[in-house]
């Protein structure tokens, strides 16, 4: 693999899922592969799981890791070409990406959506200008519109936990006090459409994902109906795409409760975390035996390890 920005960079997604499961069974089987190689992790916003699991993944492969919080520790970067840099930005991405490429063999980047301008977010300017100016492979640690490491993990977790060949997987919107990106949802449907699952998406009207992600999806606006017979309930809040970045609904009737889970086929609850308790999902659902959220977080390590391994080998 040459880079990991989305599922489009993965030749055989199901093969990468299998690789992640194999690495979970044998985490140190390739502990010499990354010898004398350095992974740089650059964060333009907060992270807990991605930061720690990707570090751990690199360590399992024998890599060195450097981590930097760009928003608080680095110079403010300029991403525009042909600008007079007489404002706040101290360093151009051209120099920064080239310099970091001297120190690192692979660079991971976490960016975030501004949620103000859909064209700006969906152009993935920060990630793409890094790719254009870096001399080494780039891994997305969540970008403005996608979170492929999370989706690879989610497929892996479903593969590991499923009890039927082709489980019914429901992506459900859930309420949240803040406007959040569509990244996790976009990426989840993109990967699930290639997975051996029956995917159903449920959300209030107005929360349709961007056409490139929603085309061909089975949408059921009645959440209770969507839950019927589900094997996995994947909850996530996202803000509106059409009324870009807006919160259109805060109806806690969409919160995932035990009552709703009882409509499923003994279904398991999934969420990428961090999760707002009793907004997105009730305490009871998170604290009972059918929640997979901690297993998902555990699997983040092996998903990242599979990606790093493929890039080191490729
Ligand atoms: C991020 C998101 O994309 O929705 C990260 C998910 C992996 N989540 C948040 O920003 C939650 C913030 C909050 O205040 O709850």
Tell me: the pLDDT tens digits for 256-313?
A: 999 999 999 999 999 999 999 999 999 999 998 899 999 999 999 999 999 999 999 9
* DSSP output for 25-47: HSTTTTTTTTTT-EEEEEESS--
C-alpha 237 to ligand 1 mean position (Å): 9
Q: Does residue 116 sit in the same domain as residue 161?
A: no
48 found inside a domain: yes
Question: Which atom in ligand 1 lies closest to the alpha carbon of residue 147?
Answer: 7
The reported pLDDT for the residue numbered 288 is 87
Is there a single domain that holds both residue 36 and residue 85?
yes
Integer angstrom CA distances of residue 55 from 140, 199, 276: 14, 32, 25
Ligand 1 contact, 174 CB (< 6 A): no
What residues make up the domain containing 87? 7-146+300-313
111: Cα within 13 Å, side-chain hemisphere: 26
Average per-residue pLDDT for the chain: 97
Tell which atom from ligand 1 comes closest to the C-alpha of 184. Answer: 3
SS3 call for 108 = strand
Quote the DSSP letter at residue 254: G
Q: List pLDDT tens digits, range 144-190.
A: 999 999 999 999 999 999 999 999 999 999 999 999 999 999 999 99
State how many domains the chain has.
2
**Does one domain contain both 29 and 127?**
yes
Residue 78 within any structural domain of the chain: yes
**Counting atoms of ligand 1 from 1, which one is nearest the CA of 236?**
4
pTM of the model: 0.98
Asked if the structure places residue 26 within a domain, the reply is: yes
In 3-state terms, the chain is what percent helix, strand and coil (to 5)? 40, 15, 45
Judgement on whether residues 287 and 305 belong to the same structural domain of the protein: no
Specify whether 186 is located in the same domain as 261.
yes
> Is 1 domain-assigned?
no
Nearest CA to ligand 1 atom 14: 178
Taking the centre of ligand 1 as the mean of its atom positions, its distance from the CA of residue 180, in whole angstroms, is 6
Inside any domain, residue 2: no
């Amino acid at each position: 693999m040459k880079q990991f920005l989305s599922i489009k960079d993965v030749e055989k997604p199901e093969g990468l899922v299998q690789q992640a499961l194999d690495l979970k069974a044998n985490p140190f089987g390739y502990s010499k592969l990354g010898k004398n190689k350095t992974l740089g992790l650059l964060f333009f916003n907060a992270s807990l799981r991605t930061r720690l699991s990707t570090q751990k993944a690199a360590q399992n492969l024998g890599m060195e890791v450097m981590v930097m919080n760009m928003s608080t520790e680095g110079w403010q970067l300029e991403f525009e070409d042909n600008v007079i840099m007489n404002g706040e930005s101290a360093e151009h991405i051209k120099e920064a990406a080239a310099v970091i490429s001297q120190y690192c063999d692979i660079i991971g980047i976490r960016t975030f959506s501004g949620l103000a301008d859909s064209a700006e977010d969906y152009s993935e300017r920060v990630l793409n200008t890094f790719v254009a100016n870096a001399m080494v492979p780039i891994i997305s640690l969540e970008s403005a519109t996608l979170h492929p490491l999370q989706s690879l993990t989610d497929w892996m977790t479903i593969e590991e936990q499923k009890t039927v060949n082709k489980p019914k997987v429901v992506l459900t919107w859930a309420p949240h006090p803040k406007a959040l990106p569509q990244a996790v949802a976009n990426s989840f449907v993109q990967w699930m459409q290639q997975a051996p699952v029956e995917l159903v998406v449920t959300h209030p009207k107005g929360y349709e994902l961007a056409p490139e992600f929603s085309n061909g999806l089975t949408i059921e606006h009645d959440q209770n109906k969507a839950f019927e017979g589900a094997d996995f309930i994947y909850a996530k809040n996202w803000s509106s795409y059409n009324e870009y970045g807006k919160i259109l609904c805060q109806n806690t009737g969409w919160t995932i409760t035990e009552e709703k889970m009882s409509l499923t086929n003994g279904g398991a609850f999934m969420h990428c975390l961090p999760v707002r308790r009793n907004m997105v999902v009730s305490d009871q659902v998170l604290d009972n035996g059918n929640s997979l959220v901690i297993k998902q977080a555990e699997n983040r390590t092996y998903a990242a390890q599979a990606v790093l391994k493929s890039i080191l080998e490729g």
